[in-house]
C-alpha cells in the first residue's frame, strides 16, 4: 500500500538529515539502484552525502532529494508521510477541540510520537471506516 503525498508538502515538513542521505546512498549502492539513477541524480546524492553536515535547509534541495529517495525506495520516506498524515488528522481534531472550548489541546501539536501514531492508526483501520 502506497501513501500518496505531494512532493511540496513532503518537502515542507520533512527534516532530512545527513544520516538519512548517507543511508539512502548506501541502500542505493547495495541494491544496484544507484546505477539506474540519472547521472545528475547520482551526482546530487553523492555531493549531498559529502557536503550536508547537519540537515538540509534548502526547500529546492529537499524536493530533489525526495524525488531521488522515492526512486531508490519508498520506505525511506515512510516516516515523513506518516507524520504528514497524522498532522492532518490532528489539525482536524484541534480545530474541533478549540470550538468546544478545550485550550490545552495545542500541546498535542508538539508531540511528534502522538502525531506518528495517529498516522499509523489511520492506515491500519479498514477502508470502509475511512472517510
Residue percentage of the chain with pLDDT more than 70: 92
Closest Cα to residue 17, out of 64, 47, 62, 81?
62
Please tell me whether residue 83 adopts helix, strand or coil conformation: helix
Domain limits, the chain:
7-73, 80-129
**pLDDT (0 to 100) of residue 32:** 94
∠ CA(28), CA(46), CA(39), 5° rounding?
80
> In which band, very low, low, confident or very high, does the pLDDT at 68 lie, cut at 50, 70 and 90?
very high
∠ CA(45), CA(49), CA(51), 5° rounding?
115
φ, ψ dihedrals at 130, nearest 5°: -80, 145
Please tell me whether residue 17 adopts helix, strand or coil conformation: strand
Per the document, the length of the chain is 131
**pLDDT (0 to 100) of residue 107:** 84
Tens of pLDDT along 77-90? Answer: 888 888 888 988 99
> Taking 70 as the threshold, does the pLDDT of residue 3 lie above it?
no
Q: Which three cell numbers stand for residue 126?
A: 479498514
Tens of pLDDT along 12-43? Answer: 767 788 998 999 999 999 999 999 999 999 99
Amino acid at each position: 500500500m502506497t501513501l500518496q503525498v505531494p512532493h511540496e508538502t513532503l518537502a515542507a515538513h520533512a527534516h532530512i538529515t545527513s544520516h538519512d542521505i548517507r543511508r539512502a546512498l548506501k541502500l542505493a549502492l547495495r541494491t544496484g539502484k544507484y546505477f539506474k539513477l540519472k547521472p545528475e541524480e547520482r551526482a546530487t546524492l553523492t555531493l549531498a552525502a559529502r557536503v550536508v553536515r547537519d540537515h538540509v535547509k534548502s526547500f529546492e534541495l529537499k524536493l530533489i532529494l525526495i524525488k531521488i529517495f522515492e526512486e531508490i525506495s519508498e520506505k525511506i520516506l515512510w516516516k515523513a508521510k506518516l507524520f504528514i498524515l497524522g498532522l492532518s488528522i490532528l489539525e482536524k481534531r484541534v480545530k474541533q477541540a478549540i470550538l468546544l472550548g478545550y485550550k490545552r489541546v495545542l500541546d498535542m501539536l508538539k508531540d511528534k510520537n502522538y502525531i506518528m501514531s495517529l498516522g499509523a492508526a489511520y492506515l491500519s483501520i479498514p477502508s470502509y471506516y475511512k472517510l
